[in-house]
Structure 1
Amino acid sequence: MHRLFAELEPSVTVTEQNLADRVRYILRSNTFDVTELERLRREAVPSSGENAAAEDVAPQLAEQTANVDATVNTPVVVDLNDDGTVAQELELEQMRSTFEEAIVETRTTPLENRPRLPRLALSKQNRAVVRAQKPMLVTYLEASRDICETDSILFGAALAVCRIIGARLSTAGRANGQSSAIPGWRIRIEESIAKARVLIGRLICFRSGNTRRRIVRIVRMAFVGTNVSLSQPDIMQKLTERTDDLKQRIAAWGKRIRRYTERSTRFNQNRLFQSDQRRLYKSLERPIVGGTGPAPNQADTVAFWRSLWSEPVNHNEGSWTEVKRKKKRSQCAGITPMDPVIITPDDVAEAVRRALNWKSSGLDGLHHYWLKGFTLCSPDSFRGAQPEVAPKPLHYWDHSFGS
């Protein structure tokens, strides 16, 4: 089916798995009836040599249809042994449809536009839904050819679980919905300072003779809870006292921000001293300064490193270099070479098991909870999922080997 699609639509790039997903989704959603599907197939097959092509394609189409039907009709059983109160009206057909839609959506969505996965309550009902998704993953994971595709499949399964149980998903994406680096306490204090400055400005305007209705209303709100009235003869003195009081509050809030910042800095430095002293001393010697200029483009970066590593350089070596080499060989002769470090699937599984549930070690935002929950992702299923160009970070090896 993929070869026939490539011949009919050479300009469209699609993988075999993605094409099978779309065919399965069309068949499941009953978008076209049998007559319409037959008409589309006849229009798609070229008229020249149609009989010969039909003879060659018919067995393949029959086999693909059988595989799709087998996948669709695979029985999925929700384990109710742990919790007999799980809602039995949870339709497996609807779960399959939601799962397939989430897989297709994840594969066609850029990484930065994926929704942020929420934290789920560790209830028996949620665990039962996660277990029900495992048999649906088998067909997709066995057909996965690289680590990025495996990651998209697992993310789609997690997204389907969140939608089934009704969890709230962020629709803004992780690129626009990133949490601010400013702590909440500082934001609250800065908001109070901003409101106080606005109120000071209104009081100064009223003292200068501005008696507009909005200004008068705000001035009255400034004296709520006191016995001060705007008709009192000493109202100007009261306005001055109120303005000075607000200025003193702003100064106190500013000192509080500095005190809290110093305390937070000390706390982070003490914690970093316990975990990574080298990093602490480097940060003290050379503070981290964020770049304000434009980022270099890919062409300039490639040209810079290519000039350093790809072009041969002829060095002028004297007699002292050979003496240095011999001395270095004699010093290193008695050193036993280090054994090669081999990361096995069991090592990755142990690292995932020890990781925190709601932490994500990669840019995809897939929590370790899902790697632990989809325990059907055994190491034997992904030994062929090797990186194609360059080794990926350990987070992607977690996805390839599973837990």
Structure 2
Amino acid sequence: MRSTLEEAIVETHSTPLENRPRLPRIALSKRNRAVVRALNPMLVTYLEASRDLCETDSILFGAALAVCRIIGAKVSTAGRATGHSSAIPAWRRRIVERIAKARALIGRLICFRSGNNRPRIVRTVRMAFAGTNVSLSQPDITQKLTERIDNLKQRIAAWGKRIRRYTERSTRFNQNRLFQSDQKRLYESLDRPMVSGTGPAPNQADTVAFWRGLWSEPVNHSEGPWTEVVASQCAGITPVDPVIITPDDVAEAVRRAPNWKSPGLDGLHHFWLKGFMVCHSVLARQFQEALNQKSLPSLFTTGITHLVPKDQGTTDPSKYRPITCLPTIYKTLTSF
């Protein structure tokens, strides 16, 4: 385990952020928790030698990667920046693929029943009856084709009902979980119609040009005289006491955060900050240094932006709401 940990930390340190593997969500089993607890004290040596937050982030990611390798979890090696995950769940994609194949087969069977004897059609029909005693030269082949078509239609109907049943169950589960965490947000989602991003996407060049005009172009703001009035009114306000961050503060902030909330560019989830508790004292010290120096590494102010549609089926870039995922360590710092 120690050699695996050291190899993962060295590998992560020399790997660019965009080429880091995507860490999977691991099951919270006793065995997996035991592996995390076993690696926890081994990190003390590496974390004590950490010079800044970027190095600490790299060490924690390497430790998380080592845990995944030890327990045999599947780790994607395609890189995080180039991978595009689909919003459609895997189970739904599998069922939709089955339905599409069944409909295509029904079309071929109907063509053969209508007298189409092209080699491609005949080959498909033979594959459909493979493993049975049905021969295409039988006198009752028409009846067999009809029975096969009806059977496929019944399967399609059953798969469609399964999709609806699974979707309703998922919706109930998400609503119950949202009710526990944010009732106001749940009621707002029930009042307004659901907007999905399954329609045509906007042109990439137009989207980049639109958001670059808002984010990248320098803007000269003219401050009015009201700013001087506000400054004079605030001159007599007593400044707040300096913020002192302790390891207990870090532990409490990490405890409140969801385990698998979407990470930022570094790919590190809150679960690993909870599991590797020895990092809390190091993070508290480095957080305090960052506040005293009034500066943070560029890693923690760089995020992955996703565009969420505000209207149904729109290709206008201005009709999308940007959601940026920042690194987990930065979100921990701003939660105090």
**Fold agreement, TM-score > 0.5:** yes
- The offset of 1:172, in angstroms, is 0.9
Letter in 2 for 1:365: G
- The offset of 1:349, in angstroms, is 1.5
Structure 1, unaligned stretches of length 5 or more?
1-89, 316-338
- The offset of 1:361, in angstroms, is 5.6
1:91-130 paired onto structure 2 within 5 Å: 98=7, 101-106=10-15, 109-110=16-17, 112-118=18-24, 119=26, 121-122=31-32, 124=34, 127-130=37-40
Preserved contact between residue 12 and residue 20 of structure 2 (Cα < 8 Å): no
Over 3 Å counting, the alpha-carbon distance change for 1:229 and 1:300 in structure 2 is same
The partner residue of 1:368 within 270, 275, 281 is 270
In structure 2, distance between residues paired with 1:340 and 1:289: 46
Match of 1:396 in 2: 329
- The offset of 1:127, in angstroms, is 3.7
Match of 1:198 in 2: 104
| 1:384 lines up with 2:289 in the alignment | yes
The partner residue of 1:285 within 178, 192, 197 is 192
Match of 1:311 in 2: 222
What TM-score comes out, normalization by structure 2 length?
0.63
Q: Give the match's secondary structure for 1:98.
A: helix
Match of 2:252 in 1: 350
In structure 2, distance between residues paired with 1:97 and 1:275: 39
Choose between structure 1 and 2: higher helix proportion. 1
Over 3 Å counting, the alpha-carbon distance change for 1:134 and 1:99 in structure 2 is farther
Deviation per CA, 1:59-86: give whole Å up to 9, x if none. Answer: xxxxxxxxxxxxxxxxxxxxxxxxxxxx
- The offset of 1:135, in angstroms, is 0.7
User: How many residues are paired up?
Assistant: 278
Letter in 2 for 1:349: A
Structure 2, unaligned stretches of length 5 or more?
227-239, 302-325
| Bigger radius of gyration | 1
Q: Give the match's secondary structure for 1:182.
A: coil
Over 3 Å counting, the alpha-carbon distance change for 1:102 and 1:394 in structure 2 is closer
- The offset of 1:164, in angstroms, is 7.3
In structure 2, distance between residues paired with 1:167 and 1:256: 29
Match of 1:131 in 2: 41
1:215-234 paired onto structure 2 within 5 Å: 215-223=121-129, 228-234=134-140
Q: % of aligned pairs identical?
A: 55
1:112-191 paired onto structure 2 within 5 Å: 112-118=18-24, 119=26, 121-122=31-32, 124=34, 127-139=37-49, 141=50, 143-144=51-52, 147-159=53-65, 168-177=74-83, 179-191=85-97
Instruction: Please provide the CA RMSD for this pair.
Output: 4.3
Over 3 Å counting, the alpha-carbon distance change for 1:176 and 1:135 in structure 2 is same
